[in-house]
Amino acid sequence: MIAYLIRRLLLLPLTLFFIILVNFIILNLAPGEPTTSAQIGATGEASRSAEESGVTGENQYLSFREHYGLTLPILWNTWPSLSRDQVHSALHRLAHKKEEMSAHEYHSLRTLWGDRARFVMPHLLHEASDLSNSFEMRKTAANLLIRGGILQGHVGASLTQKQRKENRIISENNIRLGSLRINETDSLATLEEKVFELSLWFEEKGGHLAFEYSKREWIKIVLFETRFCRYLRRVLTLDFGVLRSDGNKTVISEVGKRMKYSLTLAIIPLGLTFLLCQVFGMVMALWQNRWVDYSLNVFFLLLFAIPVFVAAPFLIEKIALHHTLPWTEIAIPYSGFHSSEEIYKHYTSPMRLGDIVLHLILPLIAIKYGTLAVQARLSRTAFLEVMRQDYVRCARAKGLKPLTILVKHVGRNGAITIVTSLAASLGVVLGGSLIVETLFEINGFGRFFYAAILNRDYNVVLFSAFAGSCLTLLGYLVADLAYTLLDPRISLE
């Protein structure tokens, strides 16, 4: 047992690494501009708009992309090996082929070479200083050189004195470079003057020795100057970042606020489903091909066919609205996890527990009925298979009581199938139920995660994948341990 646990725990980091890698690649390759956010129109359709994203202006746009590491390649960085001919060709397209490209294509090309700028600074300075190039090409090269030289400062509420000092130096550098930007109205003489100032800045920063890379530095950039490595370094320190909409709120803190809701709406249905499907599965197996079996099969088939977005509004409208609990005058609540804070804070602990249970009756029904319909039919099949085994016939031949056979032999062995199925669903604990949480106005992680997907909040989406993967692996580990308790013949050695 101990050796098995050690092996599983040693494999856990490797498994999580590849899960994070796959999810990271999929998220970064997903279509759509990351700096835009989703808008829900009057028709209920989601659309994206850069103007409504909160990322307006070139400086804000650059800051956003730098903050999320979007200025780097995804897995490996070969940009330092770009040749001067490649840089020249790109500048020619940006300066003279704009009319031949769509607005999206031009923006993508300009953004790409803006990201590459700091890795090809000597080439850009050469193109900006080359008198044989056109005015537009020299202007484009100079502005890209400025783009490559602009740095991002440290952010956060608890900066050290060293970081504050570095921020002042970075600010002075950025102000200087910003003043040298080539505008549309600048003359050729102004261009020459600003390019000369850029050459002085280039030499002050170390010249070619500072901006050209040795073989060792090139290998380091190829492997580690990437989006994935930057994110992985943060994950190793358990830093999952902040919200895109509010840099003062961390992902961990916001998830923690919603954890109790999602855990309650996930763990309780799992436990109830396990118990109920054992009962119904056993009943259907004992009375196989009789009216009880047929009736329950049809009933669960109908439950499975009813989508949750139909069942939840039905529960609210036909059961909760304008109705009270049986034999009482207590209204059936249909929104929130508990009563309003003004009322809830005056309750005693038993009253709070009762209030929460009352509020969760309808949401739990909406979440549980579909899973119960599936698991009960699966449980029936598992029990029928176990009941045909030789050791069950042997137990009957020995004269054991039917109840003992059902509980100790059929129930325990049939539960193995259900445990496997339910353990796989542990990974969706954080996701909760988006539809149920929305209709019943429960501020769980399902709604939070959905909003993060629409707004392309990378930190929240990646944390969800990471946490869900951890819970799924934990679920399988718990299932393996449960096997040994349910069936003594199973050994983990």
What kind of architecture, by CATH, is found in domain 251-486? Orthogonal Bundle (1.10)
Predicted confidence (pLDDT) per residue in 174-205, tens digit: 899 989 999 888 899 999 999 999 999 999 98
Asked if 334 and 321 touch (Cβ cutoff 8 Å), the reply is yes
Asked if 460 and 448 touch (Cβ cutoff 8 Å), the reply is yes
User: CATH 1.10.3720.10 residue ranges in the chain?
Assistant: 251-486
State yes or no: pLDDT of 482 exceeds 50: yes
DSSP assignment of 426-465: GGGTTT--HHHHHHTT---HHHHHHHHHHTT-HHHHHHHH
The pLDDT assigned to 125 comes to 93
Predicted confidence (pLDDT) per residue in 351-361, tens digit: 888 888 888 88
Predicted confidence (pLDDT) per residue in 393-452, tens digit: 888 888 888 888 888 778 877 887 777 777 666 666 555 567 888 888 888 887 788 778
Model confidence at 378, pLDDT cuts 50, 70, 90, reads confident
pTM: 0.73
The pLDDT assigned to 49 comes to 44
State yes or no: pLDDT of 37 exceeds 70: no
Query: What are the tokens at 150?
Result: 């602009």
* Averaged pLDDT of the chain: 82
Greatest CA separation found in the chain?
A: 107
The pLDDT assigned to 442 comes to 85
State yes or no: pLDDT of 121 exceeds 90: yes
CA distance 114 to 147: 6
Mean pLDDT of 266-274: 82
For residues 369, 372, 374, 376, the Cα torsion angle rounded to the nearest 10 degrees is -140
User: Alpha carbon of 376 to those of 279, 372, 410, 425: distances in Å?
Assistant: 8, 6, 15, 16
